[in-house]
Structure formats: structure tokens, C-alpha cells
Amino acid sequence: MSTAQLKALLAVRQRREEVAQKALVGARARHEEAKGEQSRLDALVLAARERRARAGEDAEGGGGGVVRAAEGAARARYRQRLVEEIAALERRAAAHREGALEAAAAREDSARQAQERARRQREAVETLHDNRQAALRLDAQRREERALDEQGQQMAARPGARPR
């Protein structure tokens, strides 16, 4: 492969690595957003559980007669709504964890693998290019040495020539 071809291939590999790096940055950002959303959902579940615990503590307070029965029924309905809200929030958090969060993590992992593969491919072409450049420099150096040797032999073969 010629030096020009290696340079062109190296440029293609470098560009591919840059694209892969940008894709990785984007995938990481989306994964962080999904983790933030998961934290927010988990916090909502925790807050609802705390409200349910406080509602249970309030139920132990007392009052009298008919008012107490009506309040008890209202508190029971409130606690039931909290239980339903907690269940719905838990389902939502689990669905996000198993759906969007796992998908974002998988996309980030895939992007990381693609970026690593692009980097290895660029490095392989870069090594070939560097080795080719080194071989060309060595060939040029050897040609120069041969030319100097030939010049020295020609000078020595001339009568009356003095070495410098």
C-alpha cells in the first residue's frame, strides 16, 4: 500500500473514530438523563411511602363518636389512595428501570465498544503508516550512503585525488 493510500486510510479511520467518540458522548448524556429520571421516580416512591406512614400515624389519634367514624372512613380512603399511588409509582419506576434506563445503558455500552473498535483500527493504520514512513526514511538514508560511497570510490580512483 502506498504512502498516499495509507494517509487517506488514516484520515478515514481518524474521522470514524471522531464520529464514534461523539456518539459515545451523546449516549453517555442520554444514560445520565435516564439515571436522573430514575432517581426522580425513586424519590417519588419514597415520598409516597412516607406519606402513607404518616397517614397511618394520624389514624391512631382520637376524637369522638360519629365524627371519628367519618374521619376514620376518610382516612381509610386516603390510605387506600396512597397504597394505589405507591403501587402505580413503583410500576412506573420499574418500567423505566427495565425499559429506558436499561436501553440507555446498552446504547452507551454499544457506543463505547464502537469507539474502542474505531480507536484500535485507527491505531493499526497509524502503525502501518509510521512503519512505512520509517522504511522510506531508511531507504533514503541507504541510497544517500551508497551515493556517498560511490562518490568516494570515484574520487579515490582518480589519479591525484586527495580525500577530504
In order of start, what are the domains of the chain with their CATH numbers? 3-156 (1.10.287.1700)
Confidence of residue 155 (pLDDT cuts 50, 70, 90): confident
CB of 163 closer than 8 Å to CB of 156: yes
The CA distance from 133 to 2, in Å, is 10
Percent of the chain whose pLDDT exceeds 90: 71
User: Can you give the pLDDT at residue 11?
Assistant: 95
What pLDDT is recorded for position 164? 55
More confident residue, 61 or 144: 144
The H or E element that residue 162 is part of is: none
CA 52/CA 81 separation, integer angstroms: 9
Contact present, 86 and 48 (Cβ < 8 Å): yes
Which pLDDT belongs to residue 60?
A: 59
Q: DSSP 3-state assignment of 43?
A: helix
Tell me if 59 sits within 8 A of 79, measured CB to CB: yes
User: Phi/psi of residue 160, each to 5°?
Assistant: 80, 5
The amino acid that residue 34 corresponds to is A
Rounded-to-integer distance, Cα 48 and Cα 82, Å: 7
| Residues comprising the chain, all counted | 164
Q: For residue 135, which of 11, 1, 14 has the smallest C-alpha distance?
A: 1
Rounded distance between C-alpha atoms, residue 19 and residue 121, angstroms: 13
pLDDT of residue 121: 96
The DSSP symbol for 99 reads I
pLDDT value for 61? 55
Which residues, other chains included, contact 113 with Cβ-Cβ below 8 Å and sequence gap of 6+?
Answer: none
Residue position matching grid coordinates 464514534: 20
Tell me what pLDDT residue 72 has: 82
